[in-house]
Chains A and B, each alone.
Chain A
Amino acid sequence: MANKTVLFDKHVEAGAKIVDFGGWDMPINYGSQIEEHKAVRQAAGVFDVSHMTVVDVTGDDSQVYLQKLLANDVARLKEDGKALYSGMLKEDGGVIDDLIVYRMPGWYRVVVNCSTREKDLAWMVKQAEGFSVDVNERPEFSMVAVQGPNAREKVAELLGGEQAELIRDLKVFQGKESGDWFIARTGYTGEDGLEIVLPNDVAPAFWQQLLDAGVVACGLGARDTLRLEAGMNLYGSDMDESISPLAAGMGWTIAWEPEDRDFLGRQALEAQKVAGDLPKLVGLVLETRGVLRGHQKVIAEDGSEGEITSGTFSPTLGYSIALARVPKSTGDTAHVEIRGKLHAVKVVRPPFVRNGERVYK
């Protein structure tokens, strides 16, 4: 029996095509995925992301515990409300999950993926041993992402009052509580916008208000093309427990300083850094016809091989883009094998699109 979010009936009512996503019945689209994608790039769209797992870390040792648990350093969060993207690594450096952690007044809120929920919670509880912390999942909350250039203003107008002021004052990558709501200026689309954690019982009414205000309901299909244009990794495709963050474009999320912070996976990553032979995650662009897809073979100019980890048609650019793990020696061009034929691609540094515009060179 698949899990359903409290917005499930709303999705069905809106004609969504429902698919299984990590054990959850979720909307893949409500008609045209490309139209939903464009709504987010040009105006505002809303996604039900209640399948994602909200975990609160409380207790006296919250900070030191997270400094051990995460490759990025929560001590970098200089004020309440600030957010940090991080990998959670095994001792051997493999990525258990990627997540966002928000610093709250005296505690932390962590949002992890849905397909990794059980192993994440088990790992977090196991690593909590010896620390004075509580790790609590918060299934009583729903989560919606309202994304796009008009997203913040639309939500501010709907909520009004203090919440509107809060939304207008939020800085990028910052979240704040407002009663039992939590409103953060974060997202997975490469556009401005909000991620809102709110009580389950008020989520359907809020969802409807957003639709009535002209915000477009968007499914997980558009979420995937948007995140790929934004050059953001998808757990399970672009990295997993067998992949080092250094081979997944996540080097920037590892806080090496201070040197004496002994986070899980540190020793393995230091050895990998010295060895210097890991492949790298790059962006690929196919400006002619055809679509790059996960698992297609990439052939570098020197003949060495890699693989596409995520590929799609980019609705914003009008041609195909991909993330690929390739040998370190790969230069500015390569070939991809699509149904037996080799196609020339550009090798670029992601992201591909930010705030509605092409950004790669």
Chain B
Amino acid sequence: MSEIRPELKYLISHEWLRVESDGTAFVGISDHAQDAMGDLVFVETPEVGSTVTAGEEAGVVESVKAASDIYAPVSGEVVAINEDLEENPEAVNNDPYGDGWMFQIKLSDPAELESLELLSADDYVAKVEEEEH
């Protein structure tokens, strides 16, 4: 079984979201997602300063096997991207919740967190298990 972090929120499309106290949030993909994709070779993040919208495409990850879109879990301005991934995309495979983070968003509307259908860790596990059976 892949690792799930209880403190994070998840999307059914396998992104994770970590909300910080400063009104920003970090985004990456789950351990389950990196395992299913296999070795990552390119990560295309949105540009710093660009605006992303919850539920819409914000980037792309390419593994040896396939390409997969990354969806923004929340809306806001991209304030940082993980530049190390350009040289070391395998960080996402090795440490999906840590060194493999992809981008940081300044939330445009923190209330959105309540209205969006973000999954708790338990609900995400249940969805993943459902998918596998």
**Chain A interface residues toward B at CB < 8 A:** 28-29, 32-34, 221, 225, 289-291, 293, 312-313, 315, 339
Contact = CB atoms under 8 A, between A and B. Distances in A.
Interface stretch (B10-18, B59-67, B106-114): B59-67
A315 B65 CA distance: 12
B104 interface: no
B33 to A, nearest CB: 14
Given A34-B90, A290-B62, 9 more contacts: A32-B93, A221-B38, A291-B42, A291-B62, A291-B67, A293-B66, A293-B67, A313-B62, A339-B67
9 contacts: A32-B93, A221-B64, A221-B65, A225-B64, A289-B42, A291-B41, A313-B41, A313-B62, A339-B60
A8 to B, nearest CB: 20
B60 A33 contact: no
Given A289-B44, A313-B62, A339-B60, A29 B67 contact: no
A33 B90 CA distance: 12
The 8 closest A-B pairs by CB, nearest first: A313-B41, A34-B39, A291-B62, A313-B64, A289-B42, A33-B39, A33-B64, A32-B39
Interface of B: 38-39, 41-42, 44, 60, 62, 64-67, 90, 93
B4 to A, nearest CB: 19
Contacts of B64: 33-34, 221, 225, 312-313, 315
Contacts, number: 34
Contacts of A293: 66-67
A291 B63 CA distance: 9
Contacts of A313: 41-42, 62, 64
A28 B66 CA distance: 14
Highest count of chain B CB atoms <10 Å: which of A29, A291, A315, A339: A291
A33 B41 CA distance: 11
A312 B63 CA distance: 9
Contacts of A33: 38-39, 64
A290 B42 CA distance: 7
A162 to B, nearest CB: 40
Contacts of A315: 64
Contacts of B44: 289
A3 to B, nearest CB: 23
Contacts of B42: 289-291, 313
A118 to B, nearest CB: 28
Contacts of B38: 28-29, 32-33, 221
Nearest to A29: B38
Contacts of B60: 339
A312 B67 CA distance: 11
Contacts of A34: 39, 41, 64, 90
Contacts of A29: 38
B68 to A, nearest CB: 11
- Of the listed residues A28, A221, A313, the one surrounded by the most CB atoms of chain B closer than 10 A to its CB is A313
Contacts of B93: 32
A221 B44 CA distance: 23
